[in-house]
Structure formats: structure tokens, C-alpha cells
Amino acid sequence: MTTRRIWINARLACEARLQQIETEGGKITAIGPDLSQAGAEVVDLGGRLVLPSFVDCHTHLVFGGDRTGEFEMRLEGADYQDIARAGGGIKASMRFTRERDVDQLVAEALPRLDALLAEGTSTIEIKSGYGLDIESELKMLRAAKRLAELRPFRLRTTWLAAHALPPEYAGDKAGYIREVAIAGLEAAQAEGLVDAVDGFCEGIAFSAEELEPLFARAGELGLPVKLHTEQLTRSGGTLMAARHGALSVDHFEYATEEDVAAIAASGTVAVLLPGAYYTLNEVQKPPVAALRAAGVPMALATDCNPGTSPLTSLLMTMNMGAVLWGMTVAECLDAVTTHGARALGLGDVTGRLAPGLSADFTVWDAERPAQLVGRIGLNPMHMRVFEGAVTHG
């Protein structure tokens, strides 16, 4: 028997009057100012701000080891590509990740996961991409699945074997895509480990042409795709991703008007990642104004990873989106709720407060969203509710 609850005195961002939220069976069943409380458990939210729980739609939360030495290298003048070509970056994480078993990966990821949950995040995407051989990539996704058994959140897993070329495939990108990225994807799907497929389209990784067979195979398997692209250079990956109806294109700093038009037509979300932009001290901003004008949904995500975005705060991510790129408070909030959910293909599941959607919401010691976006270093979360149950607070 499910519990029917009425959450009273909820301050919703779009309503002048305090509202009530009815939940039952893990879903929102009604929202209004005067719901019937007969037979229900009543929870008084005290006039606090209530928002949809956050969605972190792009993370590399599972990885082994520590790469803070690269932070010091960047302070001395090295850039992303210098570090990668010197054996750092993704390939350093590959060595650390291959050395660890699932239990070790889970233990290292839990503090990062807990930091996200403590700020009101209830849906998180976790990618593979640091194993770069079939078994190590599968091991990363098994660790992600274990995390979802240990903590209350909604997980979406992404196969990102096409993240970098490991040393054993030097000079043979086509062979790696065929023998690891595609063969491993088939194994991951057979094991029930994968929800989507991603790749890194960049000069230091793979070209759009090299990734095409992987995306074609994903389509044959019925899996949606997304793409890291236009981060460091204009790679042309956006046009390929749009042709495949990608859920999202991610980073997007060097995107052109043609790229914006392509994803506007394909219904693809632009996932912007200010943590990497900040950490790498980049100067090329994503085309926020062009995306806004074209009506392209913009999501924000932490891009939590060991090197270029060691970020575990969507509150800070929203602040960065506003301060660094001129996004409005409303855009930042939509970016980590409605549009973040859409970037994962979950727009009809979570990311909004509406009857029929999952009862995922967060209660804040605040009166308006600007108090979350405009502050730095303060977490005013009062309560996190996931699928109708209080998990924090």
C-alpha cells in the first residue's frame, strides 16, 4: 500500500500563492492551493522554496586515482593538449582506473556522489571512458550501477569508450572503434549496463568520420547518442550528431551558426559545461545568445571528472553559467532541471513539478531561485525528496 502525502505551504517559483503538492506511489498526483487532506499524511514545508530536484546530465563520476598534479602543470603554463600529449589527462586516468576493481571505484566515487545528492540532485548520468579496454569500461558501468544500489537517485549510464585512444591501439583508431568501442558496446548492452552512447570528437581524440560507425551501430541497437564536441576546436561533430538525432551535444564552445541551426532542427539539447571552461581558463565562450535566439534548450552540468572539471556542485555550476556566460537565473534553473532531464531522454519522467511525473523535488531555505544561483559556497537545502520519499532532511 502506497502512502498518500500532501506537502503543504510550498513556495513554487511560478506561483504567487503558497501551493500544496500531492504525491502517491512515487509520483506527483496533484498540485494546487487547496487539496483535500482527508486520509493523507501532511508535511508542512513552512513556506520554503520548492523546486524540481536537479539533474546532472553529464558526469564522469566513476574514475580511479588523482590528477591534481595537472592543476599545478596548468598553473605553470601547460594547456589541455600539452598535458594529454605528455601522457596525462584521460590516459593517466586510464592507468589508475584499470588498476582498480569495482569495489575500489565505488569507494572513491561515493564522496563525489554524496556531494551532488546533498545539493538536491536526484538524477545523474555517469559515463564510462577511463578504462579504454572492454573489461575496464564494463567495470566502470558496473560500479555506476552499484552506486545506484547504495544511494537513492536515478541513474543513466553512458558508454564512452571512444574517449581517447589507448597506447595499445596507437595509429589504429579504426581498429579501436571496431574492436573496443563497438564490440564493448554490444557487450554492455547485453549485460544491461548502457542507456546511451557518447564519443569525444576533437583533434586529440576522434573525428566525426571515425565516430560514424559507432553511432551507426548505436542506432541499430536502439540506443540514443550524445557527443562531446566543439570544445577545443571546431571539429564538425555537431553536424554528425544532429544527423543521428543526438540527445545532446556537450561543451559547444567553438560551435558555429551552422551548428546551432543543425541542433535547433534536430531537437538536440546543448549541454554547457562551465566547470571545464573555468578550470582550463578558456576564453572561447559557447554561443549562448545564438542558442537562445534559436530556441535551443540549454542544459548545465558539472562534467565532474578527475582533471578538467573536478566539480561536484550544481549550485556552483549555475552560478558559473550566469556569471561567465550571461545566462539568466531562469535559464540556469531550467538548465539543471527541465533541460537536463531532456538531455537524458527523461523529459516525461522528471525535471518538472507536474502531475504524472516522478515526485522528485527539493525544499530550500530560500524564497526565490536567485538566492541559489547568486550565492557562492552556501548550500541552503532543507530537504530532498526522491520518488516521494524524504532522503535528506
**Rounded Cα gap, residues 63 and 107, in angstroms:** 10
**Residue 59's pLDDT is what?**
98
Say if residue 80's pLDDT is above 80.
no
Per-residue pLDDT of 263-321, as tens digits, reads 999 999 999 999 999 999 999 999 999 999 999 999 999 999 999 999 999 999 999 99
Instruction: Give CA separation, 304 vs 32, 61, 129, 135, 279, in Å.
Output: 37, 6, 13, 23, 11
Q: Residue 236 annotated as binding?
A: no
* 228 carries a ligand binding annotation: yes
- What's the angle, vertex CA 120, arms to CA 147 and CA 346, rounded to 5? 70
Burial 113-141 (b: 16+ CB within 10 A, else e): bebbbebbbbbbbbbbbbbbbbebbbbbb
Mention every residue, 6+ apart, whose C-beta is less than 8 A from residue 49.
11, 13, 363, 364, 366, 367, 368, 369, 371
What pLDDT, on the 0 to 100 scale, is given for residue 382?
Answer: 98
For the stretch 3-42, pLDDT in tens is 999 999 999 998 889 999 999 999 999 999 999 999 999 9
Hey, how many other C-beta atoms are within 10 angstroms of the C-beta on 376? 10
pLDDT in tens, 111-134: 999 999 999 999 999 999 999 999
67 is in an annotated binding site: yes
Q: Scanning the structure block, which residue is given the C-alpha cell 566539480?
A: 311
* Domains, in order of start, for the chain: 4-51+352-392 (2.30.40.10), 54-344 (3.20.20.140)
**Which cell numbers in the block locate residue 379?**
548550500
- Whether the predicted pLDDT of 385 surpasses 70: yes
Q: Is residue 251 part of an annotated ligand binding site?
A: no
Residue 206, φ and ψ in degrees, nearest 5: -130, 150
Q: Is the pLDDT of residue 261 over 90?
A: yes
pLDDT tops 90 at residue 360: yes
Does the annotation flag 244 for ligand binding? Answer: no
Is 60 annotated in some ligand binding site?
yes
For the cut 80, the answer to whether the pLDDT of residue 342 exceeds it is yes
Read off the pLDDT band of 1 (50, 70, 90).
low
Annotated binding-site residue? 58? yes
| Mean pLDDT computed over every residue of the chain | 96
| C-alpha to C-alpha distance for 356 and 336, rounded to whole angstroms | 20
CA distance 312 to 2: 33
